[in-house]
Structure 1
Amino acid sequence: MNNILKRALLPSLMAASLAGVTIVPAKPAAADDQVLRDAGIGAVTNVVTGAVRGNGNVLGNAVKGGVTGAAVNGANGLRNTRNRRHRNAAQDIGVGAGTSAVTGVITGDGRDTLGNAIDGAAVGGAIHLFNQWQIIS
């Protein structure tokens, strides 16, 4: 009798739980999307600049770029709505350069601080361009 109940109830219970799990998180918050987008842009940009310069490994550059992208997003997220729409290129580049230099020291890539700052400035510039021209919505 126990096997009959397991065979009858378990498949429907699993189907109901899977449907509930996939339906509940219908839409994440828009702010989270922007942070993840900027972190992704930063990771890709820093991997490319690291490869061009021959600096570091792919994973380390991706981590530094992701942190830098999130910091650039955070610096703009603290401003009011009008200023978030009209971003400041100098601020994005400056925050990117500073964050990447500090992140490089923390992750153990402190021997090339100027190179890390250059990579971060490129990340800040790329994020500024993508958000200014709204290439990625």
Structure 2
Amino acid sequence: MNRILKRALLPGIMAASLAGVTLVPVKPAAADDQVLRDAAIGAGTCVVTGAIRGRGTVLRNAAKCGAAGAAVNGANGLRRNPKKRSLGQDAAVGAGASAATRAVLGGREDTAGDLLDGAAAGAVINILTK
């Protein structure tokens, strides 16, 4: 009798616990949505600026400024008043993050272009998310 109960109940209990664990985090936090939004805006901006300048691949440019967008979002979260955003600060954070990401990714040395792409991404994020 004991084996019959184990065979009948154990799979149901395991399935219920697995479903409960995987379905708990159904909705992501709003902050995660904002980081993804800024990273996507940055990636799109860099793909366009890279195409205009004729530098880099689409994937490298998207990765470079996706990281810049996430850094701009993080810098805005650290401010005392996140509603009061500065165009210059966002451009500077984007430029620095873009150059740092390019250093990690490797490739051609085009530091001025990396700074330009990141600054453009930071400025576009500032303008679109006010």
TM-score range, shorter chain: 0.7 to 0.9
Is 1:60 the equivalent of 2:60? yes
Is 1:29 the equivalent of 2:29? yes
1:108 paired residue number:
106
Q: Give the TM-score taking structure 1 as reference length.
A: 0.77
Q: CA deviation at 1:102?
A: 1.8
Q: CA deviation at 1:93?
A: 0.5
Separation in structure 1 between the aligned mates of residue 63 and residue 17 of structure 2, nearest angstrom: 35
Is 1:87 the equivalent of 2:101? no
Aligned length: 129
2:44 paired residue number:
44
Over the matched positions of the two proteins, sequence identity in percent amounts to 61
**1:77/1:110 CA distance change after superposition, 3 Å:** farther
Separation in structure 1 between the aligned mates of residue 51 and residue 17 of structure 2, nearest angstrom: 45
Separation in structure 2 between the aligned mates of residue 92 and residue 100 of structure 1, nearest angstrom: 12
1:126 paired residue number:
124
Q: Which runs of 4+ in 1 moved over 2 A?
A: 15-26
1:69 paired residue number:
69
Q: CA deviation at 1:104?
A: 1.4
Q: Give the TM-score taking structure 2 as reference length.
A: 0.81
Separation in structure 2 between the aligned mates of residue 110 and residue 98 of structure 1, nearest angstrom: 17
Say which SS state the counterpart of residue 111 (structure 1) adopts: coil
Q: CA deviation at 1:24?
A: 3.0
- Paired letter, 1:58: V
Q: CA deviation at 1:116?
A: 0.6
CA RMSD of the aligned region, Å? 2.6
Q: Which runs of 5+ in 1 are unaligned?
A: 1-9, 133-137
Separation in structure 1 between the aligned mates of residue 96 and residue 23 of structure 2, nearest angstrom: 41
